[in-house]
Amino acid sequence: MFDFAATFDKGLLYEDFLHTHGTEEHRRRWQQLHERIRLSDAQRSLLASFTREMKVLCLAGAWCGDCVNQCPIYDHFARVNSKIVVRYFDRDTHPELAAELKVCGGARVPVIVILSEDGFEVARFGDRTISKYRKLAADQLGPSCPTGIVPPEQDLLKSVTQDWLEIFERAQLILRTSARLRTKHGD
């Protein structure tokens, strides 16, 4: 069994990940999308209400179009609530992690693993959300993997952001209703 808890602390913060693994062009693309993300007041309020620490291990690639279009969302979530701690891992630099987090038998990114404060796996999810897959299924045009060169449409970005928020909320609710953690925290 892979030890995500021991691996988590070896990850990089958002900016450090981009500085270490991205080119100037990669960083520009990530920043461009980061600036387009707008969390609603309701989304910010929900994120701010999270009380349990969530360690989010993210396997990504600075070069990856899907990562460009999704990972900045996690950074926005972490900026709203310090209980959300995200660490990024480059897929190509961490082959053992990539092997553990394959999706449908392939080395896909981004993939996240959400851990409890004490390192237990709560949830894992990758590589695209349901809104993105619905769009891909409807379009079925062009390359099978977006390049990150052309930013997603704003409506799709809003939908994908909401999809990720629901994934994070689900993990938070698992943590909040955990009998083990409720006993530990007396709530």
CATH of the domain at 55: 3.40.30.10
What is the predicted pLDDT for the residue at 169? Answer: 97
- Across the range 93-103, mean pLDDT stands at 97
Q: Is residue 133 very low, low, confident or very high in pLDDT (cuts 50, 70, 90)?
A: confident
pLDDT tens-place string over residues 7-57: 999 999 999 999 999 999 999 999 999 999 999 999 999 999 999 999 999
Residue with tokens 């500085």: 19
Please tell me the distance from the alpha carbon of residue 119 to that of residue 104, in angstroms, as a whole number: 25
- Across the range 93-101, mean pLDDT stands at 97
Classify burial at 136, counting beta carbons within 10 Å of its beta carbon; exposed 0-12, middle 13-18, buried 19 or more: middle
Tokens of 177: 């209703």
Q: Which domain holds residue 136?
A: 4-185
Please tell me the distance from the alpha carbon of residue 170 to that of residue 150, in angstroms, as a whole number: 30
Strand 84-90 and strand 54-60: the pairing is: parallel
Q: How many domains does the chain have?
A: 1
Which bin fits 140, alpha (ψ -120 to 50), beta or left (φ > 0)? Answer: left
DSSP code of 184?
Answer: H
Please tell me the distance from the alpha carbon of residue 25 to that of residue 131, in angstroms, as a whole number: 27
What is the predicted pLDDT for the residue at 70? Answer: 97
What is the predicted pLDDT for the residue at 47? Answer: 98
What pTM was estimated for this model as a whole? 0.91
